[in-house]
Amino acid sequence: MRRTILAATVAFFLGGFVNQAQAERQPRMRDAMVHLEKALSTLKNAAPDKGGHRVKAIGLTEQALGEVREGIQFDNRH
């Protein structure tokens, strides 16, 4: 019984370290997400009279965010 509790405790802590290691493996991708999210916010708050270019930039930025998220998920699975 005592070995089972010890094994479960060790597994719990090692699992936390693995999750933290995965989250920290991609600091540049996460930085890119932060920058893209700030850019998206700025674009959404900009004046709307840009001949459609602002709207297109918003869409492309949202698409870029999606690609970064998918890249992070892909890397975490492989």
pLDDT given at position 78: 87
- CB-CB contact of 61 with 39 (8 Å): yes
Higher pLDDT, 25 or 21: 25
- Per-residue pLDDT, averaged over 53-67, amounts to 98
Higher pLDDT, 77 or 7: 77
Is the pLDDT at 27 greater than 80? The verdict is yes
Cα dist. 47→6, 37, 44, 54, 55 in Å?
60, 18, 8, 9, 11
pLDDT given at position 22: 52
- Per-residue pLDDT, averaged over 11-22, amounts to 57
CA distance 57 to 47: 13
pLDDT given at position 63: 98
The DSSP 8-state label assigned to residue 25 in this structure reads S
Tokens standing for 11? 């597994």
Mean of the per-residue pLDDT values of the chain = 84
